[in-house]
Amino acid sequence: MAELTQSVSIDNESGVAVITVDNPPVNALSWHVRQGIFDGLNQASADGAQAVVLICAGRTFIAGADISEFGGSVPESASLADVQGVMENAAVPVIAAIHGTALGGGLEVALAAHYRVGLASSKYGLPEVNIGLLPGAGGTQRLPRLIGVPKALEAMTSGRHMPAAEAASDGLIDEMIDGDWATLRTAAIAFAERAVADGLPLMKVRDRNDKVDGVDPQIFADFREKIARKTRGFLAPEYNIRCIEAAASLPFHEGLKVEAELFRELMTGPQSAAQRYYFFAERAANKIPDIAKDTPTIDVHKAGVLGAGTMGGGIAMNFANVGIPVTIVEVNDEALERGLGIVRKNYERSASRGSIPAEAVDERMALITGSTDKHDFADCDIVIEAVFEDMELKKTIFAELDQICKPGAIMASNTSALDVNEIASATTRPEWVIGMHFFSPANVMKLLENVRGDKSNDTVVASTMAIGKQIGKVCAMVGVCRGFVGNRMLAMRGAEAEKMLMEGATPAQIDSVLYEFGFPMGPFSMSDLAGLDIGWKAEKSTSSTIREVMCESGRRGQKNGRGYYTYDPETRAATPDPDVEQTIRDFAEARGHEQREVTDQEILERLLYPMVNEGAKILEEGIAIRGSDIDVVWVNGYGWPMYRGGPMHWADAVGLGEIVDKIKGYDNRLGGAHWKLSPLLERLATDGGSLAGHQP
Ligand code: 3HC
Ligand code: NAI
């Protein structure tokens, strides 16, 4: 075996040159990988090899361009196009041998080979769209030529990883191989020998036009409409579509030019910068500096959930979805049946939409056991409490759980704002207590905000992160404070939204500013959706807030068709309600608030700058481990548009100096604790530092 570069080597197996890439962890196409493959292909030619096999060592085939090289300076080396050029134009067959995932630039390299063979467990995708890009190495022109336009549209705008069986039936790979890596290597060499012996043609994907000729342009219009809602605000899906349109209407080399131009535009724009930043932010959030990587974690063979309400049912589903048995305990049979009934309905809805197989409904329900006896938690490895948000109740329950749970079991609370240390203090083993803050609907929302108590031990901390990953959540570990990271910042936004209502802004105006910014909805639509009467009691209501006034007049939100908006009973479409606007004006004037025009710009600043300020305070207090964790919380838990990176990244992009000046101005004008400038924010603004990159 001869080394070509630090990550690529070449071997000769009876006339077949085997080029092996070994660039852990995911064989990304770093400069030395590109140069190594380039050199290897040239060497194979110089040595008179009969064929070439390109394979990767480690856990996967090439998972794409090295994202950490984007925007940085790297040594001069062969470009991806150079590599593909020598590969495609080689005088002997080149075979890509694929295990793990062939993604992005990795799949694009494989598409320049003459043939592709892959393990049955391998997966294929062009996920560039997820980092705000499009495949920039011919993938947009080659993929549709192999799998056809409709499939390429779906694959490239979703970034989905296609399984090997699908890839084989679509013609993306030429042979699927059962077995392990060694089998793959042997089979790829055998394929190469066969190609030589049988004189198989040197297939160039670029020359195959049968699947891109005569495509009905209506396909593109229909597809745009289909994904419009899901991709609102994102540039990359549309640019990917334009490239496929080019593949279907222009010669290959012209299509490549369109791809290059649109790729350059995305790569230099703010959206992809935010999405690339976010890619690494999400991975960084898994790392907790004072917890060693090899800290033992608890394997969950059985989970327990206390409370089968809005949250408990969804939390239980997360475990059942990955095959872990769950015991769910309620106060009485009626509440239990109601809760389990909702869980079943949720599964049935998923099955009717085709997102889970029909038989999965019963299989998953069979994993969930209902009970009204907490003693059934005795053999659970983790119990998550999701009862009413009431400190005394939670303390009573944790004292009971302390008596019931086995030694070494995690006792977690799903509280959305309460002091986890105080909850833990009700037990004799606070080191086994932690917060696991799921978001509603808990079976759908990606975020899991784990809340580390002062005494939570390392195993509990490491285990909640591992369990979160196991059940498909994106996790961030935060510290104890009122509302933790997400709800604490949300409260700042909510307070200013209420104030601006009093000054003359309407619910629809405030909501639309956030919607245009990229949030799925604003605070008033959100309140209507959740129900205006959550936590409201008629007998205690004193018309002291606008929300109380609304509830007193029978407005409950979407559920009764009347909230801040009125809702069409058929379509559920929301319309601003002049009566509500009048009620708000009357309420405000009665309290001496002068009415005025509030501009959209002021609304945006007053909603988002206090959140940025609070985020900085959270960092100052060490509640978040790093600035980027705050962004992970907001993107996954509250619908902050990913193409703006999250509140910390966004603030850096706006300019911390600008934000500091504005906050000082609002503090002078409006006052209030949330406008008191964070000293950290001021210091970072002065020193040219970054909130997203800040690590206390
Ligand atoms: N570049 C640089 N680093 C990468 C990387 C990439 N393309 N892909 C993954 N990594 C790093 C991660 O940051 C992580 O580093 P860490 O351990 O220091 O945190 C490590 O590799 C392992 O990654 P994951 O934790 O994500 O590992 P998983 O096993 O869960 O997932 C994966 C593996 C499916 C390959 C996933 O990492 C992934 O989806 N990677 C990105 C793939 C991608 O987007 N490729 C397209 C790149 S753009 C491109 O190719 C442009 C081209 O068209 C020109
Ligand atoms: P919920 O009112 O829908 O459900 C609570 C359930 O707990 C009820 O079914 C009730 O019967 C049951 N319960 C009460 N006392 C019990 C006891 N002693 N033993 C067994 N069951 C008992 O409340 P929800 O919304 O599910 O909230 C639960 C917890 O989750 C709260 O702490 C809340 O703050 C938190 N949370 C709520 C979110 C939401 O959006 N609803 C989001 C994130 C967290």
Q: What is residue 371's predicted lDDT score, i.e. its pLDDT?
A: 98
Q: What is residue 71's predicted lDDT score, i.e. its pLDDT?
A: 77
Confirm or reject: Cβ of 309 under 6 Å from ligand 2. Answer: yes
Tokens representing 167 are 């890839």
Residues 455 and 371 occupy one common structural domain: yes
Confirm or reject: Cβ of 141 under 6 Å from ligand 1. Answer: no
Cα–Cα distance between 109 and 337 in angstroms, integer?
A: 55
> Catalytic: 128?
yes
Cα–Cα distance between 536 and 555 in angstroms, integer?
A: 12
Residues 655 and 586 occupy one common structural domain: no
Q: What is residue 696's predicted lDDT score, i.e. its pLDDT?
A: 82
Question: 534 pLDDT exceeds 90?
Answer: no
Residues 59 and 175 occupy one common structural domain: yes
Residues 84 and 227 occupy one common structural domain: yes
Cβ–Cβ < 8 Å for 435, 451: yes
Considering the domain boundaries, does residue 544 fall inside one?
yes
Residues 388 and 457 occupy one common structural domain: yes
Question: 565 pLDDT exceeds 80?
Answer: yes
Could you tell me which residues are beta bridge partners of residue 327? 304, 369
Q: What is residue 30's predicted lDDT score, i.e. its pLDDT?
A: 97
Catalytic residue among 13, 69, 76, 108: 108
Considering the domain boundaries, does residue 600 fall inside one?
no
What beta strand segments (E) does 99-187 contain?
101-103, 115-119, 123-125, 162-163, 175-177
Which of 590, 620, 653 marks a domain boundary?
590
Confidence tier at 117 by pLDDT (50, 70, 90): very high
Considering the domain boundaries, does residue 523 fall inside one?
yes
330-342 tens-digit pLDDT: 999 999 999 999 9
Which of 540, 557, 590 marks a domain boundary?
590
Catalytic residue among 3, 69, 128, 385: 128
The domain that holds 678 is classified in CATH as 1.10.1040.50
Considering the domain boundaries, does residue 695 fall inside one?
no
Considering the domain boundaries, does residue 40 fall inside one?
yes
Cα–Cα distance between 517 and 528 in angstroms, integer?
A: 20
Considering the domain boundaries, does residue 675 fall inside one?
yes
Q: What is residue 490's predicted lDDT score, i.e. its pLDDT?
A: 97
Residues 329 and 449 occupy one common structural domain: yes
Q: What is residue 1's predicted lDDT score, i.e. its pLDDT?
A: 85
311-328 tens-digit pLDDT: 999 999 999 999 999 999
The domain that holds 521 is classified in CATH as 1.10.1040.10
Residues 75 and 209 occupy one common structural domain: yes
Considering the domain boundaries, does residue 330 fall inside one?
yes
What mean pLDDT is reported for the chain?
Answer: 97
Question: 435 pLDDT exceeds 90?
Answer: yes
Q: What is residue 528's predicted lDDT score, i.e. its pLDDT?
A: 95
Give the position, in ligand 1's atom list, of the atom nearest the Cα of 65: 50
Confirm or reject: Cβ of 621 under 6 Å from ligand 2. Answer: no
Cα–Cα distance between 428 and 415 in angstroms, integer?
A: 20
Mutate to test the pocket of ligand 1, among 26, 160, 272 (most ligand atoms within 8 A of CB): 26
Residues 211 and 256 occupy one common structural domain: yes
Q: What is residue 535's predicted lDDT score, i.e. its pLDDT?
A: 83
Mean pLDDT of 517-522: 97
Cβ–Cβ < 8 Å for 320, 368: yes
Provide the residue range defining the domain that includes 444. Answer: 303-478
Residues 658 and 528 occupy one common structural domain: no
Q: Which helix (H) or strand (E) holds 515?
A: helix 507-517
Q: What is residue 59's predicted lDDT score, i.e. its pLDDT?
A: 97
Burial class (CB in 10 A: 0-12, 13-18, 19+), 686: exposed
The domain that holds 440 is classified in CATH as 3.40.50.720
Q: What is residue 407's predicted lDDT score, i.e. its pLDDT?
A: 98
Cβ–Cβ < 8 Å for 383, 304: yes
Mean pLDDT of 619-639: 98
Tokens representing 429 are 């083993």
Cβ–Cβ < 8 Å for 395, 422: yes
CA 106 / ligand 2 centre spacing (Å): 46
| Total number of domains in the chain | 4
Residues 332 and 238 occupy one common structural domain: no
Cβ–Cβ < 8 Å for 443, 346: yes
Which of 220, 248, 266 marks a domain boundary?
266
161-178 tens-digit pLDDT: 999 999 999 999 999 999
Q: Is the pTM of this model over 0.75?
A: yes
Residue 554: CB atoms within 10 A of its CB come to 9
Q: What is residue 73's predicted lDDT score, i.e. its pLDDT?
A: 85
Q: What is residue 153's predicted lDDT score, i.e. its pLDDT?
A: 98
User: b/e string for 145-158 if b means 16 or more Cβ within 10 A?
Assistant: bbbbbebbbebbbb
Q: What is residue 597's predicted lDDT score, i.e. its pLDDT?
A: 96
Could you tell me which residues are beta bridge partners of residue 449? 437, 476
Residues recorded for the chain: 696
Q: Which of 64-73, 187-196, 510-519, 537-546 has the lowest mean pLDDT?
A: 64-73
The domain that holds 234 is classified in CATH as 3.90.226.10
Mean pLDDT of 615-643: 98
Q: What is residue 279's predicted lDDT score, i.e. its pLDDT?
A: 97
Question: 530 pLDDT exceeds 80?
Answer: yes
Cα–Cα distance between 195 and 511 in angstroms, integer?
A: 62
Considering the domain boundaries, does residue 601 fall inside one?
no
Confirm or reject: Cβ of 313 under 6 Å from ligand 2. Answer: no
Burial class (CB in 10 A: 0-12, 13-18, 19+), 132: buried
Residues 412 and 314 occupy one common structural domain: yes
- Signed CA dihedral, 502, 505, 511, 513: sign only: negative
Confirm or reject: Cβ of 386 under 6 Å from ligand 2. Answer: yes
Cβ–Cβ < 8 Å for 326, 302: yes
What whole-number percentage of the chain has pLDDT above 90?
98
Residues 107 and 209 occupy one common structural domain: yes
Q: Which of 59-73, 214-228, 429-443, 459-473 has the lowest mean pLDDT?
A: 59-73
Instruction: Measure the CA angle with vertex 312, ends 306 and 316; round to 5°.
Output: 95
Q: Which helix (H) or strand (E) holds 644?
A: none
Please, what is the end-to-end C-alpha distance for the chain in angstroms?
47
72-87 tens-digit pLDDT: 888 999 999 999 999 9
> Catalytic: 108?
yes
